[in-house]
Amino acid sequence: MIKLLGMDANKLWNQNDRLVKDFNACFDFFDIVLDGCMLAAISQYCFHDVTTTNHLRAVIGTVLPAERLMAAVTTVSNMLSDFHRVSLMRERGDQDRDVGGENLLLFMQEGLMLRHLSLAIRQGDSGRVVNALSYFTIWFQGTPSHKYAAETLRLTACLRKIWGEELRNFWMENGCMVNLSGKREGFIALDALNEYIVREVKRLVSAGVTFKTDEHLRNVLSLLVMDFWDIRRKMSEEAEMYIFDYHSSKVDYQVESGKVAEYVLRSQLIRTSRNEQLVPSTEVPEVMDSFVNGLHELSKTVGIQNLKKNLLENVGAIAMVHSVDSGDEGRSEDE
């Protein structure tokens, strides 16, 4: 897809370790591909056996019946909301399978959930964040990201069962997101704010750092990062030097998404009732079904048992500290 869109992969991530260089650029690329796949799916279910989106573009909003469009949207929505669908598709014999179509369906399902989480954070809807977190908790269980698996499982358990109503409401209202700009959709995750602060502190580290300058950085300057944030914006406003874009709008990637949609349709990766007899793409490697794999790992209860053990150890440690603070250490049971 990167070559299809004429992008430079080296600007998105390191080729050796696959680490992301520019998160925003990578997320834009992801949005382009996801939009293209969705456009292809809607086109396919509106006009079966098409290999281009031109017809949909020509008639949408004019002569295309609203009922037909809504029927296609409903079909695609039902398909993408069924997280067991790919698992059932993979139970078919090799001759009846379409691995490329399965992979595409998984990408759209997981991609839309990631977009759902991103929008929920941006719009400050902590309830939707918690709902999306449940899916990510399952997905992480079947991956090598063991720390994410453990931490998401812990947070989900706390939000769903362990914490009381007051603590849960506090987290949802204060411990999940923050809005620094005051814009209606200007919320960011607290982790994103923490990463910003760390990045700004690192920029203040001088080349000739000494013990004194390091102490000043840690104990004085690092505490003023958000003050510097306000000062820079106030100075730019007073000097009429608009170095910050307060009214940014998302770049329109319709052309790029259209290219992705055309590729998906030409590759016949979306199969409807009329093209069900297409030759299966047996040479395509099968990607992991994160939902099913995650449920399989959860069924082993290893992560759950580890969580219970850690929680009980923490409760024991807290009780011990409370006992010492209360002067109860060394008392007998009779006392």
pLDDT at 324: 58
Q: What is the 3-state secondary structure (H, E, C) of the chain?
A: CCCCCCCCHHHCECCCCCCECCHHHHHHHHHHHHHHHHHHHHHHHHCCCCCCCHHHHHHCCCCCCHHHHHHHHHHHHHHHCCCCHHHHHCCCCHHHCCHHHHHHHHHHHHHHHHHHHHHHHHCCCHHHHHHHHHHHHHHHHCCCCHHHHHHHHHHHHHHHHHCCHHHHHHHHHHCCEEECCCCCCCEEEHHHHHHHHHHHHHHCCCCCCCHHHHHHHHHCHHHHHHHHHHHHHHHHHHCCCCCCCCCCCCCCCHHHHHHHHHHHHHCCCCCCHHHCCCCCCCCCCCCCCHHHHHHHHHHCCHHHHHHHHHHHHHHHHHHHHHHHHCCCCCCCCCC
Q: Is 293 exposed, middle or buried (0-12, 13-18, 19+ CB in 10 A)?
A: middle
- Amino acid symbol at 216: H
pLDDT > 80? residue 211? yes
Q: What is d(CA 70, CA 154) in angstroms, rounded to the nearest whole number?
A: 40
- Res. 107: pLDDT tops 90: yes
Query: What is the model's pLDDT at position 140?
Result: 95
Q: Quote the pLDDT of residue 280.
A: 47
pLDDT at 330: 47
Residue 20: both structure tokens together: 């992301």
Residues, the chain, total?
Answer: 335
State the pLDDT at residue 195.
87
pLDDT of residue 175: 82
Map tokens 């001759």 to a residue.
95
**Residue with the larger pLDDT of the pair 20 and 286:** 286
**pLDDT (average), residues 289-295:** 93
- pLDDT classification of 333: cutoffs 50, 70, 90: very low
Residues of the chain with pLDDT > 70, as a percent, come to 87
Least confident of 34-38, 196-200, 232-236, 292-296: 232-236
In the predicted model, is pLDDT for residue 96 greater than 80?
A: no
Whether the predicted pLDDT of 22 surpasses 50: yes
Residue 279 pLDDT: 45
Do residues 143 and 149 lie in contact, with contact meaning Cβ atoms separated by under 8 Å? Answer: yes
Quote the radius of gyration of the chain (alpha carbons, Å).
26
Average pLDDT over residues 171-184: 86
pLDDT at 273 over 80: no
C-alpha 246/C-alpha 242 separation (Å) is: 9
Q: Are 180 and 188 in contact (CB under 8 A)?
A: yes
Predicted local confidence at residue 100, as pLDDT:
87
Residue 332 binned pLDDT confidence (cut-offs 50, 70, 90): very low
Of all residues in the chain, what percent carry a pLDDT higher than 90?
Answer: 36
- Work out the mean pLDDT of the chain and round it to a whole number: 83
What backbone phi and psi angles, to 5 degrees, belong to 12? -95, -45
Question: What pLDDT shows up at residue 165?
Answer: 92
Q: Is the pLDDT of residue 316 over 90?
A: no
pLDDT, tens only, 135-172: 999 999 999 999 999 999 999 999 999 999 999 999 99
Arithmetic mean of pLDDT, 92-119: 89
pTM: 0.81
| 9 Cβ contact partners less than 8 Å away, ≥ 6 residues apart | 2, 15
Q: What is the pLDDT of residues 214-264, one digit of tens each?
A: 888 889 988 998 888 888 888 887 887 766 555 455 667 888 888 999 999
Q: What is the pLDDT of residue 335?
A: 44
Boundaries of every domain in the chain:
1-145+252-299, 182-245
Write down the pLDDT at residue 277. Answer: 45
pLDDT of residue 21: 77
**Can you tell me the mean pLDDT for 41-70?**
85
